[in-house]
Amino acid sequence: MSRAGFKPCVNVRLTMWIIGYTSTESFGQSRELPAWRNAGVVRWCLRAAFYSLLLASFAVGGARAGDSFGPEGPEKGPWRRQLWRLPSPIEDVAMRTVVLRPPGRGPFPLMVMSHGSTQSAERRRRMGLPEFASLARWFVRRGYVVALPQRPGHGLTGGRYLEDQNGCDEADFLAAGQRTADSIAAAVDYLAAQTFVRRRDIIVAGQSAGAWGSLALASRNPDGVRAVIAFAPGRGGRSYDRPDKNCAVEHLVAAARDYGGAARLPTLWLYAENDSYFSPSLSRRLAAAFRGAGGRVDYRLLPAFGSDGHFLVQAAAAEALWAPAVEEFLRGVR
C-alpha cells in the first residue's frame, strides 16, 4: 500500500469499533470530509483493516503446527542457540523450543529440560521462553544437545493448557503429571529422530511441574531415555501463593507412589532446604513413596539457596550446589 493510499485512513476521524474499541479517537491530524467521501473512505479502511488483520494472523501463525517443524532461524553464538518448532499433543500447536548444541556434527547425547507451571492463566501467558542458562551450558560443555521446549498453554507456544490439576482440595496430580509427560514425550520423540542426536542416549530433566512431568514420563520407561533428573519435583505447592502450603498432599504422595510402581529408570531428585513449595519433610515423603513402590531414587537435599531454593536451578550461582550431584549421578547411569 502506498503512503498516499493510506493517508485518508490516517487523517479521517473514525469510530474505533472498526478494530474493537468503543471510544472515538483521531488518527494524526483530523479533518472533515464530505459525507460521500466519508462513506467511501470508511469502507476502504474497513477493507484495509480486514486484510491487515489477516496478514497479522499469518505472522502470528509462525508457531502453529501447520508450518513445518524444525529450526526457525540460524544458530547464534558459541552455544549454537537456535529456535525450533516441535510437535505437541495439540495438533495445531507447535512448541517453541530453544536448542543448543556443542561444536561438530554429532551425533550427540540429548538432554530435554522442562520448565515449571502455574494455575494462573495470566502468569502462564507472560512466561518467556525457558533458558536455564547455567544448566544448559553445563550439559553442552559435556557434549550434549540441550532442548528447552515451552509446552502448550504457556508463553509464545500458546494454545490450550493441558496440565490443569483440577483445583486444590480434589487435585488430580497423577493425571496432571501425565499430561505434562505427553508434551515432553512429543519433544523427545521428534528430537531423537534428528541426525545430530544419539537416539538411545537421552536424559530427561525438569524443574517443579516440569520435573513432576519428567517423573510421570519415567513411569512409561520410554525407549532411549537413560535417566531422569528432577529439580524440586511436585505439583500444588505454595497454594494460593502461601509458602509451605500445599494442595491435597495425600493425593500428591499417592501419585508419586503410582509413578514409582511403574518406573524402572534411575531418577535423581534435587531439593533445597528452603524450598517454599515442597518442604524437606514433604519431599522426603514423595521420594520414599516413589522408592517404596519400586522406583529407583537418588534423593539429595541441597543447602538453602537464596530467598527460595525452589528456583535454584535457574541461578548461575547455584551451579556449585547441584553440579557435583548431577555429575556423580550421570557417571552411574552411563
For the chain, the domains span 3-61, 64-333
Cell triple for 182: 505427553
Residue 267 contacts residue 215 (beta carbons within 8 Å): yes
CATH code of domain 64-333: 3.40.50.1820
* Residue 193 near residue 299, CB atoms below 8 Å: no
For residue 1, which amino acid is it? M
Query: Cα separation of 182 and 280, whole Å?
Result: 28
Distance of CA 35 to the CA centre of its chain: 53
Q: CB–CB of 154/127 below 8 Å?
A: yes
List C-alpha distances in Å: 274 to 238, 283, 329.
13, 12, 23
What are the residues facing 100 on neighbouring strands?
A: 146
DSSP output for 276-300: SSS-HHHHHHHHHHHHHTT-EEEEE
**Is the peptide bond between 107 and the residue preceding it cis, with omega within 30 degrees of 0?**
yes
Other beta carbons less than 10 A from residue 163's beta carbon: 26
- Cell readout for 330 is 550421570
Per residue of the chain (334 residues), what is the pLDDT tens digit? 433 343 334 333 332 222 232 333 322 333 333 443 344 444 544 454 443 443 333 333 334 544 589 999 999 999 999 999 999 999 999 999 999 999 999 999 999 999 999 999 999 999 999 999 999 999 999 999 999 999 999 999 999 999 999 999 999 999 999 999 999 999 999 999 999 999 999 999 999 999 999 999 999 999 999 999 999 999 999 998 999 999 999 999 999 999 999 999 999 999 999 999 999 999 999 999 999 999 999 999 999 999 999 999 999 999 999 999 999 999 999 7
Specify the DSSP element, H or E, that contains 220. none
